[in-house]
Homo-oligomer: A and B are copies of this chain.
Amino acid sequence: MNTSLRVNEVARHFDINANTVRHYVRIGLLNPPKDDSGYHRFNATQQQRLGFILNARELGFTLEDIQQLLLDAEQGESPCPHAREMIELRLQQAKEKLASLAALVERMEQATSAWKNIPDCEPCGEHICHLIEGKHHSA
């Protein structure tokens, strides 16, 4: 666990894209020191940080949220209160998104179903595509 990995190695270890790791470094979520060749080196602390980031991401936190939690911990404060607040907000947002996405799927299914009984339109200059412009999804 005291090994110091390079970007590609740590990415393989966590089974993620190396570019994702580079992205987290770029935006400051990770701060791996550089070696003599100028390559980023991920020690145990940075590896733990990355593990934390991936866990938090799985729970719907944004990268900015995660940055805040890491900052809390660095400054010796418990990140838990923030985590509890944040997940409540993110959960609510996720539910809203879920609802609107479900509504979209519903609209799409109704449209495809209705389109089965409608022939293709010939371009007549009056409409662009009567399938899409039709009234069948406004009722």
Contact = CB atoms under 8 A, between A and B. Distances in A.
Interface stretch (A7-15, A31-39, A104-112): A104-112
Instruction: Determine the interface band of chain A, counting residues with CB < 8 A from chain B.
Output: 35 or more
A81 interface: yes
A52 interface: yes
B52 A120 contact: no
Copies of this chain, how many? 2
Nearest to A75: B123
Interface string A111-123: 1100100001111
A17 interface: no
Contacts of A120: 78, 80-81
B98 A128 contact: no
Contacts of A108: 59-60, 87, 90-91, 94
A23 interface: no
A94 B88 contact: no
B109 A77 contact: no
Interface in A34-74: 48-49, 51-52, 55-56, 58-61, 69-70, 73
16 contacts: A49-B128, A52-B128, A52-B132, A59-B108, A69-B128, A69-B129, A69-B132, A79-B129, A80-B129, A80-B131, A81-B120, A83-B131, A84-B115, A87-B112, A94-B104, A94-B105
